[in-house]
Every structure is written in structure tokens, then in C-alpha cells.
Structure 1
Amino acid sequence: MLSPEEFRKEYPEDELAEELPDSPIGSLRDIQYLYGKLYTLATTGGGEYAPYLTPDAASDLEDTGDSLIVVRVDLSGDEPRLATDERSSVWVTGYSEDQIQDVAHCKYPAARGIDHSVTHQSGQNSDPEKLARYAKERLTKWATDDVVQEAADDHDEGSIIDGLVELGEDEAVLDEIEDELTTKLGGESTTALLTVQVQLDEDEGYRWPGELDVFMEAMRQRKLSKLVTKNKADDSSGNATDLVTGEPARTVGTSEDPQNYFLGKQLEKFPGLDIEEAWRTHPIAEDAAVTVMNADTFVEACTYRTFGAKVYYLPYVWGHVSPANAKDLYELLYSATTEDDDKTPVETAYDNRSTLFDDARLRFYVSAVMPHQMSRYDVFGETLNGRLLYPRALANEHNRLVRDTAAFNSATEWTAPLPTHDNWGLLTGNGERLHSISTGWYFHQTFAERDDDDADADDPRIEALVAVLSGDAISVETLLSEYVDRIVAEQTDEEIEGFPSFRVASQFAQLCALATDELDLLSTTDLEKEPITREPTYEEHTMETPTEILPDGGYSPTTTLESFIEDTPALAHDEDDDSSLNDQRRGAFLLGALVGEVGSYQGYSEDRSTTLIDQFPVKSITGSRIKKVTQETIGKTLTYTRSEDRTITLFEHVVERLRKTILNPDPDDWKLDIDDLRFYYALGVTYGMNDHPEWDSEETDDTDEIEEDS
């Protein structure tokens, strides 16, 4: 494959323009066709037959010994015969990249029969006997194939193939081929391409298959025959307008493609599909179909696996593709294909953002495919509108939230509302965020855990990943349900010690990042949840000292709580909407905060192994229990206040707000759904556990399991 530099030099812009599609990119097929065209130009060059060659199939044989076996046929006389010159009838040599066009190999899966071309690839380490059979079959099997014979009958050079057939009928000739090949190999096994050379005139010497049009046309016809007979079709072809070029052509209906979207078996794509008439439903011209098949290498390079699915992230240029844009796109695809690293296509595109495409509008085709069995896939989340902006901006926003805002950072001697930890990737700003998002690890960290082997097309982690890559909104209802399921699972897991406060903080950071106005990645069909989709307005801390921020030198927990609630749209009181559920949501949060405060107090002051946090786990919180939990929690607070002979109630900044909020409206009349209620209760518990002077932060960090984000 040509390097990007070689590609730019090999194809001047005017020459490349002739190879590019005239119409703008408007479908997956257009992208595949462009990929296939670029791949063909970079491997086998231009020309009518170039798309039909399969250079990658035998790339492992390049520059290895005894990897090319040539049966040499002399047709320059009155009768066909084997060569008698110094190279003799069978020439055993090495195969190299320079011979791709000469050898003209077109692979066909071994289990289905011989290769389409006269050149055939052997199995791994075939013995001389088997190789001899393959060599003889160039004359006895390939040359006599019905499709090859039809091509020969219609071609001016058809007598060349007839000469091979005639030689193959002579047992003495076949014996000579076997004896000569066995001798040349010295009895050793090898892996090789087996082909022929033909001499038509003594003055011209022996010519390769790629130099004889009849061989190339026969190869082409054999490959095309498979595009109309797949899945038991007799002849799924007809004259129609090619959906790629827009030109009238003979179209085929059962061609393969790198993603298997339009095969006859994919009846869910076209209900009631008649395989024989598939060319009417999905008409693609013969040559275009083959070019699309050649996109496989580049398509696979822009594919990665996560959550049991294959994610396709295919870059392309919006609108008409200029030669300059095509060269930049080739460089990006070449990089994705050849670089040996664990970067996703998203990261590869990001790394090249400053040097490629100039002002062109780079877009991505995004989809996820869930395989069920061979050639039967579920396709979901499909869009042509993927942009690098979405995952990149989400990564930047998440880093900003946990690194710079008052929700996760304190400029005083009192802790921030929510905890951070260097060993939790979602709770520290880091350069791996884009990798975390594009691989799906970003949602693996926060959503309910599942066995990837049992994943299905309804997996919300995959839906969320595809949404972020393509700029579609994620349902708030889905997020809250997944968050709560994960929290409950960890709080009830006997192997996990303590309340999962870092998990909850990670989930909330993610929720806030998705809500950023620039991306608008949250949606809801419930107007009462609309505040959750709004971007928080947390203050950003600068390098100023706490004294500069607050001249009085103080920053009480009361101020911290008030600011956090006011700057969180889902918790702030809505003066303009008396029916808003924000007050109920804030009540659940404040109740959780007091449970967290008292539970932490019981742990470090009373040395209790079981605290209110354990007594009132997230899964136990329902609308009908709010009053009871509130009464018991406030009661415990007052008990500890009296036992310490305090004049001010412990955690007064939480207690007073809880008392005012919890009764208006009465919890018996709350309309907050269960996931909404439980998540903000869990967020409150996390807040309460983290609400303390900075000096005892090490103690609270030890109560939570530490997990490395990778």
C-alpha cells in the first residue's frame, strides 16, 4: 500500500479527480465506494480490473521463499506445450509486492472453491502433492469453468484459454507438471500462489495473467457471477440506475459489503425481500459493487469493539470530495490501518485534526452492529452526522467540571460539595478522557454492569456511546435508571465496603458534562425532568487565593450548600413554576445529605460499624418512606447534639433546610419517580459524607473502594 507521501506523488490532482465520484457523499454506500476507490488506487492502481484484485489476501507471502509457483505454457507454435527454456515448465520463485498487478490474484474463500483468478492461493504449508494438484487445476479446473469458458467464447483472445484446456487434457503434460514441481521444491511443503505464464510469440517472451486481457476478463466475470447468485439466488441482476454513480447500468442484488447490511438474508432491512428481485430494491452496478467490497480494509481500521458490539466510526468529507480532501482522507485511513496502537478512530482523527482537511467539513458515519450469527447483524444508532466535536467537547467539559468548578473543588478550608480522587478517572482531569469516551469506558464506569457476552441491541451503554459520537441526546430517564441500578448493586455487594460515593460523584459529573449547552446531549419527554437537562452554573476557581475570593476569610458549610443547590438547576427553587418538582428533588437530596452527615459522624465519633447510611440504603428509599426516614434521621441528629451539650444543632445548615423543604409539599403527595428520588438521595448522601473540614479528608477517602479508570 502506498504511503500518504507516495499517494500524493503518484496521483496528481487532475488525475485523481477522474477517479473520484461526481456526486457528494450522501450514504453509507457512497463512503464505502470512496474507501474502496482509495484503497484500490493505493494497492493495485487504476484501470478497469484493478478493483477486482485482492492484494491483501497474499500479503503474508511477500518476500518469502518459494511463495510463487508458475506453470509456464508456450502457445507460440502450432500446438500448445509446456515451456522448455531455462526456467522450464514449472518455475518456483518468491512473490513480491511488485508482482501484484502481474500475478493478478483475486481471492475466493477456500471453502467455496477455486479463486476467481487463474492465480490461486494454496493453504498454509501445503505439501508438494497438494501443490501439484493446484498447479494442474490451472489447466483442468479453472480454464474449464463454465464462466471462464463463456468469457473465452466472447473474447478475441479466447484461444489462450482454449490452449490451457487442451494441455490439461494431456496426462503426460500433467505428470510433467507434478514431477517438475516436486523436484523444484525438494519435497518440502510451502505456502504459495500458483499461476501461469503464457508465451504467444517467441519475440515477446512469457507474459503474466495481468498482461493478458482474456485472463482478467474471465476473472472479472467469475467474481461478478457471485454477486448475483448468493443466498440461493439464480440471477439477481437487471438494468437500473446505480445508486452510487447515478448512471444506468447492469446492477446486482446480492453483493457483499464490509458491514453486511444489504445481503439477501438481512430481511429486516427490506421486509418481504425477494432475493431474485433484490437488484430492484438495492441496485448497485457491478463494478461499483466490487469497489465497495474493497473498502473492507479501511472500514475495519475504523472499527472497534466494545460492549459486545462493533462500533463503526468512518470519517468522510461532507459534500463533494475534492482531490485535496481525498488525499487527506487517505492519509487518515492509512494511519488508522497501519499504526499499531490501541487508539480508536476517534482519537486518530483528533490527533490529525491540525494537519488535515483545512476548512473541509469532516464528518463521521457512526453505527453499532450487534452480531447474532454469521452474516446476521442488528444495526442501530446509525447516522451520517457524527462529528469530532461531540466526544472532544464532552471530554473537555468533563475535565473542566472536576478540575476547575466549585462542585468538585474548594478554595477554602472546607471541602467541596463532592469528592474527587486521583485514582478515579471520572473524578480527575486527565488526558485519557477522549479515549475513555470513545471506547465506551466512560459509560461502563457509571451504568449498570452487564456481561458483554450476553449484550443485545438494547444495551443502553451502546445507545449512549453512539449518541455521544453522533451528537444525539441521551434520555435522562435512561441515565437515572442506569445510575440507580449501579448504585444499588454496589451498595448491596458484600465484597464492596462502604457507600459508593466516588461512583455517585462520577455519575453526577457525567450528568453535568452531558448537560452542557454547547452539546445539548440530554433529553427528556417529562417536563418535570427538564431542569436536569440544563447546564449547571458552578463557579470556576482560578489561581486566586481564598482570601482574595472571600475577604472575610471564611467560607461556611452553609454557603457551600446554598451555592451548590442554587447552581444546580435540578435542585434550585423555581420561583416561576409552583408545579416544579425541584423542591421535591431538593428534599430527597437534603435528606440524603443529612443521612450522610449523621452516618459519617457515627463512623468517626461513635466508631459504629453500622450507620444510618447502612440503615437507609438507596434501594429502601421510596416516597412512602420519606417521612419515616426524615424523622429518624433528625431524631438521631438531635440526640447527638444533646449528648455533646451543644447549643447549636449538629449539621444545622442541612437540618433547617430539610425541615422547610420536606413538608412543602407533604411527601405523601410527592410525584417524583423512583429513580429520580433515589439518585438525588444518593447524591445527597455523597454530599453529606464529604461535608467536613479539609483536614480529615484522608479518613473519608478510606470508606470507599478505589477503582482505577483505564
Structure 2
Amino acid sequence: MLDPDEFHEEYPPKKLEDELPERPISSLRSIQHLYGRLYTLATAGGGEYAAYLTPDQANDLIGTEESLIVVRVDLSGERPTLDADDPVRVTQYTPDRVQSIAHCKFSAARGIDHSVTHRSGRNSDPEKLARYACERLTRWATDDVVQGVADEHPDGDIIRGLATVGEDEAVLDRIREAVQTELGGSTTALLTVQVRRESGADYEWPGDLSVFNEAMRARKLSKLVSKGQATNSSGEATDLISGERTRTVGTAEDPLNYFLGKQMEKFPGLDPDEAWRSHPISEDGAVTLMNAEEFVDACSYRTFNADVYYLPYFLGRPTPEETYNLYAALHGVVQEDDLTPVQQFYDRFGEHEDEFDGRLRFYVAAVMKHQMSRFDVYGETLNGQLHYPTEVGKRHEGVTGSWVFDDDHERNGDRTPPMPSYDEAPLTDPFEHPQKVHEMVASGSYLYRTFPFTDEDTDATIDDERIDVHVSILAGDPVPRSQLVSAYVERLLDWDGERVPELLIASQFAQLCALENADLVRADDDRESTLIDGPGYDTMHPETARTDGGSAALGRTEKLESFLDQTDGLDDPERRGAFLIGALVGQVGTYQQAYHDRSTTVIDQYPIKSMTKTRVKRITQEVIDKDIVYSRESAKKGSNINSTMYSEITDGIVETMAERDPEKWDISTDDLRFYYSLGVTYGMNDRSTNEQDTEHSDADTADASETNE
């Protein structure tokens, strides 16, 4: 395969322009056809039969000893015969012989290759190679399809001559003996023929004679119309790729195995012989599609128990300059094993996306491979763009770099931020992680860190939320908010650790904020606007900000008010109520553990799964009662407490419940549990970083002193 510089040199802009499709790229089929065309140009070159050749199937043999075995047939006399002096030559397969050999591989395990040239199995013994050499005359030349070409072609006598030679057992014995004598042992080789048509003339290779090329082409095309139950799936129709009226085939192979007879989908009453009517592809077009396989496979990666295909293309009709960029990208993913295709495309295109005027796109599909030729497509889009993962990554870094997550942010003063962060949980602190957030988004690990796990030993399913959301994000399609929250809660309920998964909850929250800020979350009911705006965590609440080193309690109140005001999801009073209940549980539970050495706290008593609308009032009352008891204890010890330790939280809870009975709340149970868990995380993380702050720090207002150290 040509490297990008060689490709540019071999196909300057004007020459390449003539090779590009006339119609704009607008479908998976047209993407595959372009890939197949580029692959053909880079391996077999141009020409009428180039798409049918498979030179890359023997690249490993180039330059190796005993890699080419040639049976030489003399057709210049009255009767075809082997060359008298040199019936078999064992030589080296070299670059200058690639076109002359004209090899066309057939992948069937026990079949012969489409071309008269055949590749042996690896390290075949001399006896087996001798048999393969004879089969150039006894099997390939006598094939029905090949004989059909011989009957119609003006040089058909060449093929008939080979078949005639193969009828003589004595001649075959000479071939066997010569092969076994010439070989030094087992080897991997191409086996082919040379023919001499006139006395004294040179022997000619198969690639130099059109009758061999036509026979090879006919054999390959025959597999596109007869496969499985289909015996002759072909007819006159409009080609899906070119738009021209031509002979089309219905059982063409496909790198993604779409539209094949062995698909899992069932079509009652489908006549395989009529498949060309529903999916018409021209003969040459079908072969070109098959040639896309190496590029298509290289652009895939494994995630969520499925194979995700990430195929770049330029919207519309590609220019030569765009095609050079595309070929370089495809060549890169074929050659590079260490990086995923997504990472490579970002490295190549990421900083230059604007140069393509928005024309760079990606076809994205999640495919489950049940068997070799039975694939299910669980999600696909033609509208994938680098912009969407990049934007999500940028927004995510904006959220985690704000005062809500950053311990060192000046706005937090001597208090912890609302959400915990840790470099081992990269969605809470992504800045030092080797994989950038946009790479996580594009590869799928972004959702893998927050969505429910599935059994790694089972296949992906069509209702796998991760696949659905992953494809939607890459395509820029907003995801229903309820879908995200439900997935988050399912992951939380699956948690089997002893402690509350604070970092997981914080990761989910950061992700939700980032997706909202990237305009990728939408409402699915009448409670919110259609597209949800995310939070902009720029500053602390301006009306309560203090610079005079005031009490810890006032700092805590300011922090809570700022978080409530700036978190758009908490504009809803019911979600805010669930959050405040969780925050109180987190505060009181941490107090119990720190000052009463309780092994079982309210955090343990009221886990996420216990929170339902019917239990909200009872749980809330029990936790408030504990807050009152501990507040009185603190007052007796000398604390200046005028109400309760966490009155900034309890006041908000009372206000919310006064508006509406929790049993009549409209929010879903998933919403309730997610914001409750977010509140618990907030409460557990709410403490002072000033060592001088203690349980009995001054509290001149109705708020309590710091109690969550």
C-alpha cells in the first residue's frame, strides 16, 4: 500500500480528480465505495481490472525465496504442452511482478482463488504445492464460469489449451515431479501459469492477457449473484452508488455485513433471487465495496461489548486536497496499533477542523457481531463530528475546573468545594489524566465510568443505554435527561461498596452538567424547556460573598446558596428538596461519625435505594430530630447556636415541603434518588480547611458552626 507521500506523487490533483466519485458522499454505501476506491488506487493502481485484484493478500511474500511457482505452458505448437526444457519455475515474488501475476484472492476455505494465480496455505509441503500447481490446469481452467468466458472471448483458446494439458496424467506427473524437485522444503507461495502463444515468443503472464482477467472477473462476480439460497440475484436497475442504470447484483459482500442473507433480521416472503431490486449495486461497485474492508475494519474499536465503527468522510463531493487528508488518516489507522482510530483522527484533524468548513463528518455505528456474517446494528449516524466530543470535553473541564470541584479555587476560601475530586477519578479531576476528556467521550470510556455495567461475558443488547447515548453524543443529538438520570441511578444501586460512592456521584454530576452545557440534553416532559441549559459556575453568590474572614457558618451558607442558585437542575423545587434532604443526611451522618464515633450513621440507615416519595417525610423528620438533638448537645458544651446546627438546610427543606406534600411530587423516583445522592455527597464533603475551625467556632448568626470536619 502506498504511503501518503507516495499516493500524492502517484496521483497528483488532476489525476486524482478523475478517480473521485461524481456524486456527493451521502450514505454509508458511498463512504464504503470511496474507501474501496482509495484502497484500490493505493494497492492495485488504476485500470479496468484493478478493483478485482488483491495484491495486499501476498505482500508478505514479496522478496522471499521460493515464493512464486510458475507452470509454463507452450501453446505455439499443434497441441498444447508443457515447456520442454523448463516446465516449472520456482522463483521469487518481486514488486515488479505484482501486476503481472494479477492475483485475486477468494476467502473460501476449500475453494480456489478467483484468478488463475492461487496463494497456498502457510508453509505448505512440496506435495501439496505440487497439487496446487496442477490445479491451475485441472481445476481453475475447467471451472464452468471460466469455460463460459473462454467460449465468448477471442482468446478463449488459451484457457482451453490449459485444460487440455491438464487432461494428460503424464504431464501432471511432470509438474508434480518438477515442483518437488525444485523446492527445498515447505514454503508459502503463489502458484500461477505462463503461456507462449507463438513459436520463439516470450512467455506471457496472466495479468498481460485479457482472457485471464475476464475469467478472474467473471469468477468473482459469480459469487455476487449466487450465495446461500440465491442462484442468480441480478438484474437491470439503478445503481445505489452511481445513480446509473446498469446490471446490478443482490448478494454482494459488505465490510459491515449489512443487507446479507444471514442477517439476524428476518424478512418473511423475501426471495433472495430478487434481492437486487431492494439493494441494487453495480457489479464493479460491489467489488469496490468489498475492497473497503481493510480501511473499514481499521476504523473500528471495541466498547460496551460491541464494535463501534468511526468512519471519516467529507460531506458532499470530496476535493483532491480533502481526499489526500482522508487517505493519510486511513493509512495511519491501518499502520498504527497503539492508538485507537478516534485518538488518531483527533490528532490529525482536531486542531484543523475549521479548515474543512464543517464538511468533515463521521459515520458512526455500534455493531454486535453474533457470528462471522451475522451482525446487528444497535445505533448509527452519518452526522458524527469532532466538534461534539471536543465541546463536551471542553465543557467538562470547565465544570471540574470551577469552584464546584476545584479545592484551590479562590472562591472557596477556607472551605471545601461542593463536590469531591480525586485524580484517580478522572471525571472529577481530568487535568492530569493521560487520556483527554474528548478522547474518553469519543472512545466510550466517558459513559463507561458513569453508566451501569453489564455482564462482560454477554453480548451487547439493543437496549444498552450506553450505546444509544454514545452514538447520540457523537452525532450531536440531544439525549433525554431522564435517560441519563435513570442510567446514573441504576449504576448507583448496583454499587456494592460499604461507603457512599462520592466520586462516582460527583463524576455523574460533572458529566450531566457538561452535556447540558454542550446542548446535548433535552427534556422529555412539560416540566422543563425542550433543550436544557447547563450551569455556569463562574462565581460564588455575589450578594453573600465575604472577604473579612467571617464565621464558618456564614461561609457554609454562602456556599450552599451559590450552589443552589447556579445549578439549573435545582431550580425545580422538588429536586431541590431531594438534594437538601440528602445534604442534611450527609452533614448529620458525618457529624455522627466524627464526634460520636458511630459505626452506623444516618448515611448508612438511609441509603439511596431507600428513598421513595412515600418515605421522604418520615426520613426527613427522623434526620431533623437528630439534628436538633446534636444541636442541643453542642449548645450545652458552649456553642453559640440559636436554632440548629444545619438550619440553612432544614429551613430550605421545611419551605419545600410546605409547598407540596412529597407523596404528591411529580419528579420520578430516579430523579428523587439522584438528587438525594448528590445532596449526600455535598453534605459529606462540606467542611472547613482551616484547622482552627472546630465544632465550637463562633456563630453570631442563626447558622451553626462548622461540624463536618
TM-score by length of 2: 0.91
Report which stretch shifted further, 73-82 or 3-12.
73-82
Check if 1:508 corresponds to 2:498: no
Say which SS state the counterpart of residue 623 (structure 1) adopts.
coil
- Larger mean CA deviation between 69-78 and 460-469 belongs to 69-78
Is 2:376 the partner of 1:378?
A: yes
Instruction: Give 5+ residue unaligned stretches, structure 1.
Output: 573-581, 698-710
Q: Using a 3 Å threshold, how does the CA distance of structure 1 residues 320 and 234 change in structure 2: closer, same or farther?
A: same
Contact between 1:328 and 1:356, CA under 8 Å: does it hold in 2? no
Where 1:95 maps in the other structure, the secondary structure is coil
Deviation larger for 305-314 or 348-357: 348-357
Mapping for residues 106-255 of structure 1, pairs under 5 Å = 106-186=104-184, 188-202=185-199, 204-255=201-252
Distance, in Å, in 1 between the alignment partners of 2:365 and 2:566 is 36
Question: Structure 1's 35 and 230: CA in aligned 2 closer, same or farther, altered over 3 A?
Answer: same
Shift of 1:530: 4.8
- 2:580 alignment partner in structure 1: 590
Q: Residues 240 and 305 of structure 1: is their aligned pair in 2 closer, same or farther, counting only changes over 3 Å?
A: same
**2:656 maps to 1:661:** yes
SS of residue matched to 1:179:
helix
Amino acid at match of 2:44: T
**1:402 partner letter:** T
Counterparts in 2 of 1:138 and 1:358: CA distance versus 1, 3 Å: same
Which one-letter code corresponds to 1:647 in the other structure?
Answer: N
Which is worse superposed, 370-379 or 261-270?
261-270
Could you say which residue in structure 2 is the equivalent of 1:670? 665
Question: How do residues 480-559 of structure 1 correspond to structure 2 at under 5 angstroms?
Answer: 480-490=485-495, 493=496, 496-516=497-517, 519-528=518-527, 530=529, 533-539=532-538, 551-554=547-550, 556-559=555-558
User: Aligned to 2:356, what secondary structure does the other structure show?
Assistant: coil
Q: Structure 1 residue 659: deviation in Å?
A: 2.1
Distance 1:314 1:357 in 2: 19
1:192-341 superposed matches below 5 A:
192-202=189-199, 204-266=201-263, 268=265, 272-341=269-338
What is the aligned-residue RMSD (CA, Å)?
Answer: 2.1
**Equivalent residues of 1:391, 1:437 under 8 A apart:** yes
Residue 14 of structure 1 corresponds to which residue in structure 2?
14
Which whole-Å CA distance do the structure 2 matches of 1:425 and 1:371 have between them?
Answer: 31
In the other structure, the counterpart of 1:708 is none
Distance 1:125 1:136 in 2: 18
Q: Corresponding residue for 1:461?
A: 466
Q: Closer, same or farther in 2 for the Cα pair 1:532/1:11, shift >3 Å?
A: closer
Name whichever of 168-177 and 638-647 sits farther off: 638-647
User: Could you tell me how far apart the structure 2 residues matched to 1:696 and 1:231 are?
Assistant: 77
Out of 477, 483, 489, the residue aligned to residue 478 of structure 1 is 483
The equivalent residue for 1:618 is 608
CA 1:98–1:400: 2 relative to 1, 3 Å: farther
Query: 1:537 & 1:159 partners in 2: Cα distance?
Result: 80
> What is the alpha-carbon distance in structure 2 between the residues aligned to residue 531 and residue 354 of structure 1?
32
Q: Residues of 1 paired with 2:12 and 2:275: CA distance?
A: 39
**Superposed CA offset, 1:534-587 (max 9, x none):** 21121169xxxx9xx854345701011001111111112xxxxxxxxx111111
Give the AA of the match of 1:30. S
Deviation at 1:107, TM superposition (A): 1.0
Residues 1:28 and 2:28 are matched in the alignment? yes
8 A Cα contact 2:342 2:439, kept in partner:
no
Counterpart-to-counterpart distance in 2, 1:334 and 1:271: 42
Q: Note closer, same or farther for the CA distance 1:202–1:8 as it changes in structure 2 (3 Å cut).
A: farther
Shift of the alpha carbon at 1:408? 4.6
Q: Is the 8 A contact 1:264 1:278 kept in 2?
A: no
Q: Distance in 2 between matches of 1:92 and 1:566?
A: 82
- Residue aligned with 1:379, SS: strand
Structure 1 Cα separation of the partners of residues 570 and 126 of structure 2: 78
Which ranges of 4 or more aligned residues in structure 1 deviate by more than 6 Å?
none
Aligned-pair CA distance for 1:269: 8.1
Change (3 A) 1:377 1:39: same
Q: Find the residue that maps to 1:426 and give its secondary structure.
A: coil
Deviations 1:140-172 (A, max 9, x none): 000000000011111111111111111111111
2:646 to 646, 651, 664: 651
Shift of 1:429: 2.7
Distance 1:695 1:273 in 2: 75
Cα displacement (A) at 1:80: 1.9
User: Cα distance, 1:446 vs. partner?
Assistant: 0.6
For residue 254 of structure 2, what is the amino acid of its counterpart? D
Instruction: Give the C-alpha shift of residue 688 in structure 1.
Output: 0.2
Q: 1:354 to 1:591 in 2, by over 3 A?
A: closer
Choose 192-201 or 233-242, whichever is displaced more.
192-201
Give, in whole Å, the separation in 2 of the partners of 1:69 and 1:168: 17
Structure 1 segment 390-429 matched on structure 2, within 5 A: 390-406=388-404, 408-409=406-407, 410-411=409-410, 412-429=413-430
Task: Give distance in 1, aligned partners of 2:620 and 2:371.
Answer: 53
Q: 1:469 deviation in Å? A: 1.1
- Quick one: structure 1 residues 647 and 696, their matched pair in 2 at CA, closer, same or farther if it must change by over 3 Å? closer
* Closer, same or farther: CA 98–426 of 1 in aligned 2, 3 Å: farther
| Pair 497,684 (structure 1): closer, same or farther in 2 beyond 3 Å | same
Q: 1:479 to 1:143 in 2, by over 3 A?
A: same
Query: 1:251–1:285: 8 Å Cα contact kept in structure 2?
Result: yes
Contact 2:404-2:419 within 8 A present in 1 as well: no
Q: Which deviates more from structure 2 when the two are superposed, residues 377-386 or residues 618-627?
A: 377-386
- Give the TM-score normalised by the residue count of structure 1: 0.91
Task: State the distance in 1 between where 2:353 and 2:11 align.
Answer: 18
> How far apart are residue 407 of structure 1 and its match?
5.0
**Paired residues, what number?**
673
* Cα shift readout 1:472-502 (whole Å, capped 9, x = no counterpart): 1222222111111111221xx2xx2311010
Deviation at 1:208, TM superposition (A): 1.4
Q: 1:531·1:570 contact (CA, 8 Å) conserved in 2?
A: no
The alignment partner of 1:694 has SS state of coil
Q: Percent same amino acid among aligned pairs?
A: 53
Distance 1:30 1:357, change over 3 A: farther
Q: Which residue of 2 aligns with 1:445?
A: 449
Q: CA deviation at 1:532?
A: 9.1
Task: Give the drift of 1:432.
Answer: 2.3
Partner amino acid, structure 2, of 1:276: D
Distance 1:110 1:125 in 2: 18
The 8 Å contact of residues 370 and 457 in structure 1, kept in 2 or not, is answered as no
Aligned partner letter, 2:288:
T
SS across alignment from 2:71: strand
CA distance in 2, matches of 1:45, 1:405: 58
Write the letter of the residue equivalent to 2:345: T
- Would the alpha carbon gap of residues 35 and 623 (structure 1) be closer, same or farther in structure 2, given more than 3 Å must change? same
Contact kept, 8 Å, 2:378 with 2:467, in 1: the verdict is: no
Q: Take 1:211 and 1:479, find their aligned partners in 2: how far apart are those partners?
A: 62
Answering whether residue 626 of structure 2 is matched by residue 633 of structure 1, we say no
